[in-house]
Amino acid sequence: MRWTRGLLAALTVCALSGGAAGCGAGDAHERETTVSASPVGTLLDEMDEEGRLYREVAEKGAPEVAIEIQPDSATGWDVRLTVRNFGFSPAGTRAVPVAGHGVAHLYVDGRTVALLRAAEYHLAEDLVPRGTHQVTVRLYADDGTVWAVRGKPVESTADITASGPAAEG
């Protein structure tokens, strides 16, 4: 009889706290694709060019990134990132922000060219036509929010000049 009262009490608590959703049931995939207002940082109103919210963290211990780009001996460019207080998340990681973890997006002249899960990348020469270009790397949490410090995204930019043949239009 005692266990029946315990079960009845638990079901009552579940019903009062929002039904099955209040008791941990629900669509896990749906939760993984939403931006989390977790205890990791503070969501700001600012967004990047793709509409992703900034996730503000304290400067002390915040993720940092630096970018170095060298011409490849054959074709293209070798991109190397140096990160501090940051670890790259493998594919399949849950979309939940974890302090100092996530992915990097690589941009050429403001256009996304790659999502990086490692500190090295080969940038194909056809993505960098003749001329001078800005290559930027920006760090993102696993839920897609932008890591930010003092309202600025955690990113690094380098200028490169390609002297190969002009791109055909």
Q: What is the pLDDT of residues 25-59, one digit of tens each?
A: 333 333 344 565 557 999 999 999 999 999 999 99
| Gap between the Cα atoms of 151 and 147, Å rounded | 9
pLDDT number for residue 88: 98
- pLDDT of 77 strictly over 50: yes
Starting at the edge strand that comes first in sequence, how are the strands of the sheet with 77-84 ordered? 64-71, 77-84, 120-123
Q: Which two tokens stand for residue 46?
A: 């600012």
Supply the pLDDT for residue 37.
54
What's the token pair of residue 59? Answer: 């400067």
Report the alpha-carbon distance of residue 37 to residue 39 in Å, rounded.
Answer: 7
pLDDT at 154: 98
What would the mean pLDDT of 76-98 be, rounded to a whole number? 97
Task: Report, as an integer, the average pLDDT of 82-87.
Answer: 98
What percentage of the chain exceeds 70 in pLDDT? Answer: 74
Task: pLDDT band for 87, please (50, 70, 90 cuts).
Answer: very high
pLDDT of 159 reads 96
Q: What is the pLDDT of residues 97-130, one digit of tens each?
A: 999 999 999 999 999 999 999 999 999 999 999 9
The whole-chain average pLDDT of the chain stands at 82
Average pLDDT over residues 2-31: 38
Taking Cα atoms as reference points, which of 113, 149, 144, 156 lies closest to residue 48? 144
Integer Cα distance of 141 and 120 in angstroms: 19
CA distances from 23 to 16, 18, 30 (A): 10, 8, 16
Contacts of 40 (CB under 8 A, 6+ apart): 55, 57, 97, 98, 99, 141
